[in-house]
């Protein structure tokens, strides 16, 4: 029955502006979808989520409700639904919507501004050139400032490149991307930046932030336009910042026809293959293609070696380039006497729903109770403050005087904000590695090989770290003397009070080594090797 419904959906019209939109979701992807819909002239009336929802929760400028409470209204008023959730949840939500008799729904990849990637996948280089040519020639006034485009678009390959120029395509917004681009620009490289308008993590201020650290920056949701920019540049490297939970196909198509572009470096923030369960075939195929066929891979953690050990065929030209510390975050956390209150801080994504239930890391609700028992304050700085998704955390704050939820702080200001505390934490339970790889969302390999930028945020702030995962990354920083590799049950809170000053002084010393300016030559040498 469901298959039949899906077949019928292929015959219906595209999302139309005349009908109002309901967003299904309230997470990271939903923020980007909401802003794009509004900018494109659509009216979004509210969000819905699967679970029971406290009345009146806010999301951006609209309210959040339970889907079950709004089904009749959605059908009666003929609202269109846009499903804006992560890949792990999409199939279940599609089935739920269909079973409730609603056929006017779209996944993010089906929106009118999205790309018909299947069309591009079948093209050869000459056809790409034709598309770029037409795009440029039909918009001469708009693109006349692009040097030598008209000359270049008739060629298959670029014969001359600028060795000091790097083009970046950002499909995923991250502190990593910002740090690398900023460091290269300060090192004297000419830096051009293209930001995919629907990039994961996109906010109102992103374009402004990247414009300040680049020689040229543009924002686009037109893939043909992006192809033209990438083809027209004389940069020696096209460095793509991507993510498996965003539009991998955008990267896939560029790599598929890499002969007409600069050398392509694929930099995936979170690899999914081997690290997560229940991944769609589309993601697996696109991710494997990019990892195998890019000219080079730049990875912030050692999962590439793990993939290769497990038999995956991936590009041999690759570099492990960690997230690194910020060059300008030279904060020193205050020295305290042993009797002073102990304040811990977690900054980053908060797990909810299925991810929380099946994971034994970042279980901050339980850790908050542990902190209360030990008269220790736990401060949470979530990446996004979505009351709909985080209401359990918000409710705990009301009854636990040691549990504090804060509003998100931008990556540029986070280190200064959290420098007032004593330790940065990740939180993991005793048996977090004793998991069946067929259960839950995450695999054991993820906790072994992944990376998390928050560890370097903590060092930027002058804070020592308590972290049992990611195991590889934690081991490195443990040897440096700035990290206590302990699971939640092993933490001696009195020990934390005794050691905090000595460890804070050690952080200031070690941080210099891991500043990105002191690591950048590894990346530039990798560029040169390609």
**Bigger pLDDT: 389 vs 318:** 318
Least confident among 114-118, 175-179, 273-277, 351-355: 114-118
Which whole-number Å values give the CA distances from 144 to 136, 147, 148, 232, in the listed order? 9, 8, 9, 12
Q: What is the pLDDT of residues 470-510, one digit of tens each?
A: 999 999 999 999 999 999 999 999 999 999 999 999 999 99
- Find the mean pLDDT for residues 216-231: 85
39 has pLDDT over 80: no
Query: What's the pLDDT tens digit per position in 40-49?
Result: 789 999 999 9
DSSP string for 511-522? HTTTBGGGTHHH
pLDDT in tens, 419-432: 999 999 999 999 88
Judged against a pLDDT cut of 50, whether residue 11 lies above it is answered with no
**For residues 20-45, average pLDDT:** 85
Domains and CATH numbers, the chain: 2-110 (3.40.50.720), 120-320 (3.40.50.720), 342-511 (3.40.50.2000)
Banded pLDDT at 444 (limits 50, 70, 90): confident
Summary mean pLDDT of the chain: 86
Looking at residue 268, its pLDDT comes to: 95
- Average pLDDT value for residue range 173-201: 92
For the residues 422-451, what does the mean pLDDT come to?
85
The pairing of beta strand 190-200 with beta strand 216-220: parallel
User: For 31-45, 90-104, 396-410, which range has the lowest pLDDT when averaged over its residues?
Assistant: 31-45
For 151-177, how does the pLDDT look when each residue is reduced to its tens digit (9 = 90+)? Answer: 545 444 445 678 899 999 999 898 999
258 or 177: which leads in pLDDT? 177
Question: How far, in whole angstroms, is CA 180 from its chain's centroid?
Answer: 15
Q: Of the ranges 15-19, 66-70, 117-121, 140-144, which one carries the lowest mean pLDDT score?
A: 140-144
Residues 6+ positions from 316 with CB-CB distance below 8 Å: none
Q: What is the pLDDT of residue 168?
A: 97
User: What proportion of the chain, given as a percentage, has pLDDT over 90?
Assistant: 52
Q: Which residues pair with 68 in a beta bridge?
A: none
pTM above 0.85, yes or no: no
> Count of CB atoms within 10 A of residue 424's CB?
28
pLDDT given at position 471: 93
Residue-level pLDDT at 293: 95
3-state secondary structure (DSSP) of residue 476? helix
Task: Give the pLDDT confidence score for residue 114 in this predicted structure.
Answer: 66
Report which of residues 123 and 210 the model is more confident about: 210
User: Which pLDDT score is estimated for 2?
Assistant: 37
Between residues 72 and 32, which one has the greater pLDDT? 72
Comparing 439 with 239, which gets the higher pLDDT? 239
Cis before residue 95, ω within 30 degrees of 0? no
Tell me the average pLDDT across 297-310: 89
Provide the token pair at 81.
């639904």
């Amino acid at each position: 029955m469901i298959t039949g419904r899906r077949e019928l959906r292929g015959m219906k019209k595209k999302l139309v502006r005349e009908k109002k939109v309901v967003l299904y979701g309230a997470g990271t992807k939903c923020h980007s979808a909401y802003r794009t819909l509004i900018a494109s002239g659509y009216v979004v009336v509210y969000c819905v989520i699967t679970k029971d929802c406290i009345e009146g929760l806010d999301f951006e400028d609209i309210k959040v409700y339970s889907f079950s409470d709004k089904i009749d209204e959605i059908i009666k008023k003929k609202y269109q639904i846009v499903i804006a959730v992560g890949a792990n949840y999409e199939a279940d939500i599609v089935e739920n919507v269909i079973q409730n008799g609603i056929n006017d729904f779209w996944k993010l990849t089906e929106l009118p501004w999205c790309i018909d990637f299947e069309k591009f996948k079948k093209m050869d280089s000459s056809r790409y050139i034709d598309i770029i040519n037409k795009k440029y020639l039909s918009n001469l006034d708009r693109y006349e400032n692009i040097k030598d485009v008209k000359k270049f678009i008739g060629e298959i390959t670029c014969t001359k490149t600028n060795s000091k120029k790097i083009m970046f395509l950002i499909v995923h917004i991250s502190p990593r991307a910002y740090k690398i681009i900023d460091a290269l620009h300060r090192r004297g490289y000419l830096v051009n930046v293209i930001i995919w308008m629907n990039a994961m993590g996109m906010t109102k201020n992103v374009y402004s932030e990247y414009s300040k650290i680049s020689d040229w920056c543009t924002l686009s949701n037109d893939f043909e336009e992006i192809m033209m920019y990438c083809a027209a540049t004389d940069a020696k490297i096209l460095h793509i910042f991507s993510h498996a939970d965003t539009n991998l196909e955008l990267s896939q198509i560029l790599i598929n026809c890499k002969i007409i572009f600069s050398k392509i470096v694929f930099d995936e923030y979170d690899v999914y293959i081997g690290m997560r369960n229940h991944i769609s075939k589309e993601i697996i195929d696109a991710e494997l293609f990019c990892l195998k066929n890019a000219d080079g891979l730049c990875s912030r953690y050692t999962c590439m070696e793990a993939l290769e050990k497990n038999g995956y065929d991936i590009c041999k030209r690759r570099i492990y380039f960690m997230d690194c510390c910020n060059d300008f975050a030279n904060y020193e956390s205050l020295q305290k006497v042993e009797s002073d209150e102990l304040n811990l801080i977690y900054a980053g994504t908060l797990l909810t729903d299925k991810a929380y239930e099946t994971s034994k890391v970042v279980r901050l609700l339980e850790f908050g109770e542990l902190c209360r028992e030990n008269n220790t304050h736990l401060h949470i700085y979530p990446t996004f403050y979505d009351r709909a998704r985080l209401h359990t955390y918000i409710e705990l704050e009301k009854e636990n005087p040691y549990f504090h939820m804060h509003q998100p702080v931008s990556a540029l200001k986070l280190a200064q904000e959290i420098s007032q505390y004593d330790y940065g934490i990740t939180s993991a339970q005793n048996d977090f590695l004793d998991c069946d790889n067929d259960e839950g969302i995450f695999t054991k390999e993820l906790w072994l090989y992944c990376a998390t930028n928050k560890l370097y945020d903590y060092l930027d702030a002058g804070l020592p770290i308590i972290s049992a995962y990611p195991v590889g990354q934690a081991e490195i920083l443990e040897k440096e003397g700035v990290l206590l590799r302990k699971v939640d049950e092993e933490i001696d809170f009195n020990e934390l009070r005794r050691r905090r000053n000595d460890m804070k002084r050690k952080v200031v010393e070690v941080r210099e080594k891991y500043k990105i300016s002191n690591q950048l030559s590894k990346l530039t040498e990798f560029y040169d090797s390609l």
